[in-house]
Amino acid sequence: MSLAIYASILFTIAMIFYSVGVWAEHIAKRLKKWHIYAFLLGVFTDSAGTIFMMLNSKGVLINPHTIIGAIGLILMVFHAFWAIIVLAKKQENLIVQFHKFSLFVWTIWMVAYFSGAYEGMQRLSG
């Protein structure tokens, strides 16, 4: 199996972990410790998929997908570590408002996920 296949699998696993964490937090309207674990698992699997995809390609192409993908991954990392800080501060107003930031980051990342899927399908059909 090629690194691109492994990367695609990892991206999908990342999407599942990250989506479960974000949507569970949104429904609960309260950031919980286990949400952070889901965020971190999403970050880890997305990072691993990105590394595999970079190793598979002939260099980094600068295009809309790679730009939004880089922004999405950076936001995911920031989001996960900001969540850790928010819980550590134990400020109720931050804990119950955090889900709004989570949805914003998730939306950006989903654009990256689907643009990558689209780009991959274009390569397969062309």
pLDDT tens-digit readout, 12-45: 999 999 999 999 999 999 999 999 999 999 999 9
Tokens of 126: 């062309």
The chain-wide mean pLDDT, for the chain, equals 92
The percentage of the chain sitting over the pLDDT mark of 90, rounded to a whole number, equals: 75
Read off the pLDDT of each residue in 42-67 and give the average, rounded to a whole number. 88
Q: Is the pLDDT of residue 86 over 80?
A: yes
Model confidence band, residue 121 (pLDDT cutoffs 50, 70, 90):
confident
d(CA 121, CA 8): 11
Q: What percent of the chain has pLDDT over 70?
A: 97
Q: Is the pLDDT of residue 84 over 90?
A: yes
Query: What separation in angstroms does the CA of 94 have from each of 24, 35, 85, 89?
Result: 17, 15, 10, 9
- Predicted TM-score of the model (pTM): 0.90
User: In the prediction, which pLDDT does 124 show?
Assistant: 67
Contact 111, 75 (CB under 8 A): no
pLDDT at 10: 96
